[in-house]
Structure formats: C-alpha cells, structure tokens
Amino acid sequence: MEILAKSGSPFLQSDFVIGVATSSFQIEGDAASREASIWDTFCTLPGKIADGSNGLVACDHVNRVEDDLAIIESLNVDAYRFSISWPRIIKQDGSINQQGLNFYQNILARLKQNNIKAYVTLYHWDLPQYLEDQGGWLNRDTAYAFEKYVEIVSKAFGDNVFSYATLNEPFCSAYLGYEVGIHAPGIKGKQYGKKAIHHLLLAHGLAMRVLRKNAPGVQAGIVLNFTPFYAYSCNEDDVRATQLAHDHFNDWYIKPLLHARYPDLINEIPDAHRPDIHDGDMAIISEEIDYLGVNYYTRAIVKNDGSEDPCQLPAPEGSETTAMGWEVYPQGLTDLLLQLHRDYTLPPIIITENGLASDDHISSDGRVNDEQRIRYLTTHLYAVSDAISAGVNVAGYFVWSLFDNFEWALGYEKRFGIIHVDYETQKRTFKSSAVKLRNILAKRRKILG
C-alpha cells in the first residue's frame, strides 16, 4: 500500500479519492425500525444462507454509528461510500420514515463536518419486500417506485452528498437474484434475468434524471461489477465461449448505458428470455453519467465443455486464492480497465470495490494479522497505477470493505473487512491492514498538505 504515498504515484493527485465502503443491509441491523426487505425474507428460507444467519442485527451499525464514524475519521480517508436502505426510507403505505431519513442525514452532516466526501449508493440490493410482493424487478412499475424514492432522498440530502451511485452491481440483483436464484429474492429461470436487468437499468436512468434536477452539482453514476474472462486455450471453441461469457456478464450491463443498446447477443437468445423494451427506454437508460464505478475481485477462465452455458473453471492449481476460493489475480484489474478503455468512450472510472475475504482471527495478543489482505490491496493498487499509466482515467479507489459484515448468502462465514467485528460483543478491532492504511494515508495527507 506504500504506493499511495510514493513519490510520483498517481494516487498523490489532490483530486484522486481514496475511501472505504459498506452497504446498508450488511452492517446496519436495527431491523425493527424499517420495513422488511427481500433479504429479510430470503434469510428465513431454509438452506439459503450458509450459516443460517440473518441481517437483523448485523454489525449493529445504526446503534453504534457515532463510534463507527469515529473509526472512519481515524483512517485518514478522503471518502466514505455507503448505501441507503430503501426499506428504511419508504413505508409500505408510501409515507416517509422520517427517523430513517434523519439517520442518514446525521451521517452526512458528520462526514461533511470532518471533510470526508459522502459517496451514496441508492440501491445495494435491499428491495422492500412489499415491492417484491408486486413482482419486484420483474415488474416495470418497480423502476418508477425507485424514481419516487430517489426524488425523496435527493431532496432531503441536498448538497451534503458528494457523489451518488444509482445502483450497485445490478448483475447480482438480476442474475443472482432472478435467474440462478442464489441471492434474494431467490427466483430461478433464464426467462427472468434479462427482464429484471432491463427494469433495473430503467430505474437507473429514471433516477439519473431526478438527480440532475434535484442535485445538479453532485456527481452521479452507476456501479457495475466486472469479471475479465480469459480463454482456457487458443482453441476456437474456447475463444468463442469466452466472448459469449463476456457478452452475457459484462457487455450486457455496460453497453446499454454507454451505447443505448444491448449486445448483438440479444438477437440470438430465445424470445422468452429477452427483456421487454418499450419505446424510449434505451434513451432513458443511456442518460449521461459522470463516472463509472468498477468493482473487481478476480478473473475467470472459460472453457467450452459442450454445455449450453460458458464453463468457468476453478482457480488454476497452485495459484493463490482467497477465503472465497477466488484466484488472486491483480493483472486482471489492469486488463479489465484497458479493455473497457478500448471498447468504450468512458467517463472517469472509480474503483468502487476491491478487496478480499480471508480467514482472519484475533490472536492471543489481540491483533488480527491479515497479511494476505495487505498484499492483495498493494498488488491491486499497482494494477490500477499501471492502467492509469496506460491512459485510463481512474479518479478514485475504495477498499471493500470497512467492516466484516453479513456476506449475503454466505452469512457471517466470510470476512472482507479491514476492521474485525466480533458478532457476539460487536467489538471492533483494527486489523493490520487498517493500521497500515491509516498510517500511509496520514503520510499521503501530509504530502498533499
């Protein structure tokens, strides 16, 4: 991580943003003060969450927010990226939960007081259950419900927000939630995934128009997760399968935003699997964005095994992997950024999530020595630096995540945080990575003046 304060580093530009990130359902808890979300319901279904847990308490952030904000301030970061819980803002009867709005307004005021930029994500997967009961993201009306929610939030938050992201990783919401069913709401069927993503992207475009009206001076964009795909061999079938994976899982999400159309793949899939596109939809979806958020964790190697779907192979034997079983491959981040740069005329890019899960434990001396995470972050920062040197406009980098938290379908089994959380006591402990980041950012801050 020394590159953050190294002479000549691209990260020493005064306008380059370094931050940490969280999301609402994963840390907030205090479920009694909000409506139920699709994740609350999903957690009650047998076998859906690996450890049988839920997000009712999580990191108890709502009740510990002052202490948690003090932790953020101590890290010397430029920015904090967090998400708003839609079920904490809009009640089932359509009225506003003022207590929920106040919670976030207090966070924004505290961040502003301490000169920490607020990067607000408006949707990080926790759809109100009452909307799922009406069809969720398979119902076009949900996009317009999102528009109304964004209207309320953006008016209330005023100029205390530095940057908005409409959606976080709509691939996960649509594909994992409505096609393969391993995320909430747990719907499974190829006929659903691309319909859901179209309504999510429509919601994004509608929200962008609201943000332009209510917060014209605030950055606004979207966060997509990308996986760079590599062919297992030069065999024509493997190369073709690799391109198919890229079209399905990368281009399907970014091309509508920047080119106002889906990949040509849309003409090859069955009619029943295609989205329901209305006149004017693509113009809304392709509203100009100020930045593109890029989330990166690992790469995938693709082999044509004769099945209908591209076969993504496990991490190569002998490679370093994370606690998720994901290959540690920083070159993939450079390759991804360069590919995006080649394929599209891009707005500035922000690395909105990058990090790893490791098997972190508190030792007898009270420390959490997460050397693998330090190596991971260091090598990936160098990967970003390489992409910048090659001409990619990268304007920020956020570590995922600030805290160990509820890791969706994996419950509390995987720890992504630079801050260790004891879920029994809710005690927070700085891991070695947090200490190192804090110290290097202090040095960086001193250099920047």
pLDDT at residue 181, rounded to an integer:
98
Q: Which helix (H) or strand (E) holds 79?
A: strand 79-83
Helix or strand holding residue 222 (H, E): strand 219-225
Percent helix, strand and coil across the chain, each to the nearest 5:
45, 15, 40
Give the H/E segment covering residue 400.
strand 394-400
Decide: helix, strand or coil at residue 224: strand
C-alpha dihedral, 240 to 304 to 197 to 172, nearest 10°: -130
For 32, which DSSP code? G
Distance CA 242, CA 195 (A): 23
Cα gap 382→379, rounded to integer Å: 5
Identity at 124, one-letter amino acid code: H
Q: In whole angstroms, give the CA distance from residue 387 to residue 78.
A: 22
Rounded (10°) CA dihedral 145, 146, 149, 151: -110
The CA-to-CA distance between both ends of the chain, in Å, stands at 20
d(CA 284, CA 144): 12
Q: To which H or E segment does residue 87 belong?
A: helix 86-89
Q: What is the distance between the alpha carbons of residues 335 and 318, in angstroms, rounded to a whole number?
A: 22
DSSP 321: B
Distance of alpha carbon 227 from alpha carbon 294, whole angstroms: 10
Q: Considering 28, 169, 287, 407, which one is annotated as catalytic?
A: 169
pLDDT tens over the chain, length 449 residues: 999 999 999 999 999 999 999 999 999 999 999 999 999 999 999 999 999 999 999 999 999 999 999 999 999 999 999 999 999 999 999 999 999 999 999 999 999 999 999 999 999 999 999 999 999 999 999 999 999 999 999 999 999 999 999 999 999 999 999 999 999 999 999 999 999 999 999 999 999 999 999 999 999 999 999 999 999 999 999 999 999 999 999 999 999 999 999 999 999 999 999 999 999 999 999 999 999 999 999 999 999 998 888 899 999 999 999 999 999 999 999 999 999 999 999 999 999 999 999 999 999 999 999 999 999 999 999 999 999 999 999 999 999 999 999 999 999 999 999 999 999 999 999 999 999 999 999 999 999 98
Is the distance from CB of 333 to CB of 340 less than 8 angstroms? no
Instruction: From the candidates 28, 35, 287, 353, give the one annotated as an active-site residue.
Output: 353
The pTM for the full model equals: 0.98
Dist. CA 366–CA 375, nearest whole Å: 21
- Taking the C-alpha atoms of residue 48 and residue 409, their distance in angstroms, rounded to an integer, is 6
Give the C-alpha separation, 262 to 251, whole Å: 8
Let me know if 353 is a catalytic residue. yes
The reply to whether omega before 401 is within 30° of 0 (cis) is: yes
CA distance 205 to 286: 7
> Do residues 157 and 104 make contact, with C-beta atoms less than 8 angstroms apart?
yes
Classify 350 as helix, strand or coil. Answer: strand
Burial annotation 30-50 (CB, 10 A radius, 16+ → b, else e) = bbebbbbbbbbbbbeeeebbe
Closest CA to 357 of 387, 323, 384, 391: 323
Amino acid at 75: L
Looking from the CA of 55 toward its CB, the CA atoms found within 13 Å total 30
Give the pLDDT of residue 309: 83
Residue 404, strand partner residues:
none
Q: What angle do CA 426, 430, 436 make, to 5 degrees?
A: 165
